[in-house]
Structure 1
């Protein structure tokens, strides 16, 4: 009887404990806890451009006369031009490079208001041939015609591209050679400040300029020979605002040694040498006896 009573009490205890555990009793103030959600903080993801810092505003850019960038593979340099509040219906882009010019390599790209404006890339078929893209049009341009008295600023290779919306005529200039004129993107225009990007290019670059017109032959010769030329009015090496990423070094440019030039007043042929600033307009001219001939206007 005693054993039966004990067993009954034990069963009652187990039953009460089971019921109690199934009841959700309200927590006391002391028992209440506040749970703070756990968040994982990730480093902000930013584009390359937002990671960069412009060296200065375009209106007060850095004067890079007599300087060059040495750009290693995988590096990117971007140059920003002056503010532009009207349509650009013609342009000339010039620069000097020292590069091995590997096939199918984009030398540079130019955009205006983030729209593709100009891309120049080497051709897989030869060094005297390049692919030029203006807007949404693309042509292969061969430098086939020799231009008398153009000369060459060794060790630099001077490259220029001209385009005019009215006719669509586009032309490539490489040292003393020019391509035939081909029609591209006729009747179109671009808006906004130009932005030039060099990526995939390996070598040296200097004297980048952009004008808002297709320069005539005499002015292109002036740039090519380094005899004197006003700075570009859309993008200028004399007021450069730029960013860089990767292995790129800004250093003194090589002094250019030109081929024998035209005869001076004494009848001697003069060699072209390095550049210096000249006059209030900031034109750049060659030092040496030939500098007395003055600056060529554009």
Structure 2
């Protein structure tokens, strides 16, 4: 979209100013006198600030007569901008903190830095186009050297903060939640100096759930039979929700890298799960698709090139 410009002209204005207002990236206000060479933007901005602005307000000084001839509509427009600047700046700040977008993240990873004081609460919110889940599979790859509880996948509804949750406890222990039911898978070999590929399946009708980790699988267990995940969903990786979209505890936060996250509204076949583990071909998730992911980043999460390499078969 082309920038919107306002041009104020006068026979003998004191300075030539071309300055982009910070609170609207599409707005340009220019004073361009005839037959006068433009001065550098930095100097023009300084002079403009001295003439018109002090901490966002109009100076309580006499306005130069050269500006008195500006059109009334322009002056009214500037007054409205001044009055609304606070709310506009707040909007831009919130937009910067929560960057919502849809991207193909093939070959990329989310990197979650350490947050020992729990100030930044690094996390990524994921958007799934559904309000009802009765059966599902979620897969992701993670790299972390921490040997403590870490939330890997947290799905909350307004009725239940642990509607569907997968987290890693101490080394070799993984807990899954389906509503009020939980099950802990223990003694599963986990890499601390390499990537881990994990998949979790669950079917509400039968209550059967299973965990896959690095090409190994558990036996099926019973959890959350007849439980329905229903309503607005809040899906977060990097933090564990103790309330809908909030209630984060730094002792549950994830530190490391996550990539290749997918979620399906079915129990994915063992053949496809093995293919995912080996980074072979598989059908992307229809609820969450790493190759077409709708997400919001909060905190100090960064998107980096993934270093998860495809194994070479001999």
Which aligned runs of 4 or more in structure 1 are off by greater than 4 angstroms?
49-52
**How far apart are the structure 2 equivalents of 1:168 and 1:50?**
41
Would you say the 8 A contact 1:156–1:256 is kept in 2?
no
Match of 1:278 in 2: none
What SS does the aligned partner of 2:149 have?
Answer: coil
Structure 2 unaligned regions, length at least 5:
1-86, 116-120, 240-252
Would you say the 8 A contact 2:157–2:234 is kept in 1?
yes
Match of 1:281 in 2: none
Aligned ranges 1:1-298 → 2 under 5 Å:
52-56=97-101, 61-74=102-115, 75-85=121-131, 87-112=132-157, 115=160, 116-124=162-170, 127-142=171-186, 155-191=194-230, 192-193=232-233, 195-199=235-239, 200-258=253-311, 261=313, 269=314
RMSD: 3.1
Taking structure 2 as the reference length, the TM-score comes to 0.58
What SS does the aligned partner of 2:274 have?
Answer: helix
Bigger shift: residues 106-115 or 209-218 = 106-115
C-alpha displacement at 1:112, in angstroms? Answer: 4.6
Per-residue CA deviation, residues 213-267 of structure 1 (Å, 9 max, x unaligned), is 1112101011111111121111111121222222221111114142x54xxxxxx
For these two proteins, the number of residue pairs brought into alignment is 205
Larger Rg: 1
Structure 1 unaligned regions, length at least 5:
1-42, 146-151, 262-268, 270-298
**How far apart are the structure 2 equivalents of 1:254 and 1:246?**
22
Would you say the 8 A contact 1:155–1:257 is kept in 2?
no
What SS does the aligned partner of 1:222 have?
Answer: helix
